[in-house]
Amino acid sequence: MTSRRRLTLLAVTIAAAPLILGGCTAERDPANGSAKDHVAGPDLAVTPTDKARDVPVSAEVGTVVKGGRVTGVRLTDDKGKQVGAEPRDDGSGWVPTAPLQPRRTYTAEVTATGDSGATTTRTSTFTTMAKSTKPQITSTLYFVGNRTYGTAMPVTVAFDPAIPKEARADVQRRLFVKTNPPQPGAWSWLEDGSQVYYRAPDFWKPGTTISVRAGLEGLPIGKDRVGDAERTATSKIGRQLSLEVDNATKQMTVLRDGKQIRRIPVSLGKPSTPSSSGKMVIMEKHERTTFDTRGEPNGGYVVDVDDAQRYTWGGEFIHSAPWSEGDQGSTNVSHGCANVSAAAADWLMGVTQVGDLITVKGTEVELQPGNGWTAWNVSWDEFVRGSALPVAPGLKPAPPAPAHPGAVAGGSPAPAPSVTGR
């Protein structure tokens, strides 16, 4: 059966058409002078094309094969050193494991094997461009290596300035996530292109190892910008834990593996500064920090707080609030945070980790997309609609299971915006 595999060179436009090798020929048998059919190897084209110049350092080895499949790829630099490259999971490319170097010459040797067993080898030598002088788009990977995160921890990449819609597919193809044991997921962009999230249909399984690579260094993004850096991290998922806050009862329920382990009285945001309702994720933890809301519409105060755990960029935290202990469990008096007692806040700091799910319900306002790591605040069907690339149709959440699937985590991600707790 004839098959066709296409491996593309991402974000690289090469004017020269790739050379094609292969086809069927007839040759004469010298012993008896008769003609016999001779089947050559498959048709094979390679990109970058031979003698291509000014190739971005984000280049991948691409092929087009007709009548066979790629069975070998070898990439070497101009000193003869082999360059590591890994095939994409979908078989659409061979990606160097690190960015190529500027103004260097590389040789790609690709072998394809046909259905008959005959092979074709194609060699392409190309030269990368000088270091780009175009403005960079700054990327931030909110997933730090050597941590233990919660089961709701999304992989989050933020961009400044935001990625335009027409460039998101190219950027997304340079974002890689591997999980062990395998738990496939998908990427989803915020509407404005300022953040993209990766998660699986269901919460991560405890003990899963997640390896992330944002291979954006030198990647052409649109017409006038490039990616800024290569970022990688590998961390694990810890035990399952979640927090549920009900404004009707003014209680926080703490669940481990779906089972309640504690209830804690809370005081949420008063009507003029309400708390957000939705599914959020603990983003960072501080034993002690300062809330400075000067300049904010409903702010104007500076206060030191203990045992603070952020879950929105807008400044909503769980934190110790001994001044409101008389109101906790009955009245909302905060500026939007979840106030708990000093003892409860200290206990929570010992059991939670970054990446734990916190669900708040029954308040006056709904959580806004992007106000924190909001990947879980939408259904899976809505989430995958935010992908710039096709998502496997069979990737679906498991049937409804035990109540309260939660999350656990640890560590602290990349620096966040200034603390403005409420």
Tens digits of residue pLDDT in 72-114: 999 999 999 999 999 887 767 799 999 999 999 999 999 999 9
Tens digits of residue pLDDT in 158-190: 999 999 999 999 999 999 999 999 999 999 999
The mean pLDDT of 372-400, rounded to a whole number, is: 95
The pLDDT-based confidence of 12 (bands split at 50, 70, 90) is very low
301 or 134: which leads in pLDDT:
134
- Residue-averaged pLDDT of the chain: 87
User: Helix/strand/coil (H, E, C) string of the chain?
Assistant: CCCEEECCCCCCCCCCCCCCECCEEEEECCCCCCEEEEECCCEEEEECCCCCCCECCCCCEEEEEECEEEEEEEEEECCCCEECEEECCCCCCEEECCCCCCCCEEEEEEEEEECCCCEEEEEEEEEECCCCCCCEEEEEEECCCCCEECCCCCEEEEEECCCCHHHHHHHHCCEEEEEECCCCCEEEECCCCCEEEEECCCCCCCCCEEEEEEECCCCEECCCEEECCEEEEEEEECCCEEEEEECCCCEEEEEECCEEEEEEECECECCCCCCEEEEEECCEEEEEEEEECCCCCCCCCEEEEEEEEECCCCCCEEEECHHHCCCCCCCCCECCCEEECHHHHHHHHHHCCCCCEEEEECCCEECCCCCCCCCCCCCHHHHHCCCCCCCCCCCCCCCCCCCCCCCCCCCCCCCCCCCCCC
227 or 9: which leads in pLDDT:
227
- The reported pLDDT for the residue numbered 22 is 36
- The reported pLDDT for the residue numbered 91 is 64
The mean pLDDT of 222-228, rounded to a whole number, is: 94
Q: Which residues are catalytic?
A: 319, 337
- The reported pLDDT for the residue numbered 287 is 96
Q: Of 14-28, 72-86, 143-157, which gets the smallest average pLDDT?
A: 14-28
The pLDDT-based confidence of 33 (bands split at 50, 70, 90) is very low
189 or 296: which leads in pLDDT:
189
- The reported pLDDT for the residue numbered 37 is 55
Q: Which two tokens stand for residue 139?
A: 């990327």
The pLDDT-based confidence of 399 (bands split at 50, 70, 90) is confident
The pLDDT-based confidence of 19 (bands split at 50, 70, 90) is very low
402 or 273: which leads in pLDDT:
273
- The reported pLDDT for the residue numbered 400 is 77
The pLDDT-based confidence of 291 (bands split at 50, 70, 90) is confident
Q: Which two tokens stand for residue 412?
A: 């602290």
Tens digits of residue pLDDT in 249-272: 999 999 999 999 999 999 999 999
Contact (Cβ atoms closer than 8 angstroms) between residue 346 and residue 266: no
Contact (Cβ atoms closer than 8 angstroms) between residue 332 and residue 247: yes
- The reported pLDDT for the residue numbered 414 is 37
The pLDDT-based confidence of 401 (bands split at 50, 70, 90) is low
23: left (phi over 0), alpha (psi -120 to 50) or beta: left
- The reported pLDDT for the residue numbered 206 is 98
Q: Which two tokens stand for residue 320?
A: 């110790």
Question: Rounded distance, CA 140 to CA 367, Å?
Answer: 22
- The reported pLDDT for the residue numbered 416 is 40
93 or 376: which leads in pLDDT:
376
292 or 398: which leads in pLDDT:
398
Residues composing the chain: 422
Question: Rounded distance, CA 58 to CA 174, Å?
Answer: 9
pTM of the entire predicted model = 0.84
The mean pLDDT of 238-244, rounded to a whole number, is: 98
Give the angle 98-227-73 at the CA atoms, nearest 5°: 30
Q: Which two tokens stand for residue 265?
A: 């009285």
- The reported pLDDT for the residue numbered 34 is 44
- The reported pLDDT for the residue numbered 40 is 78
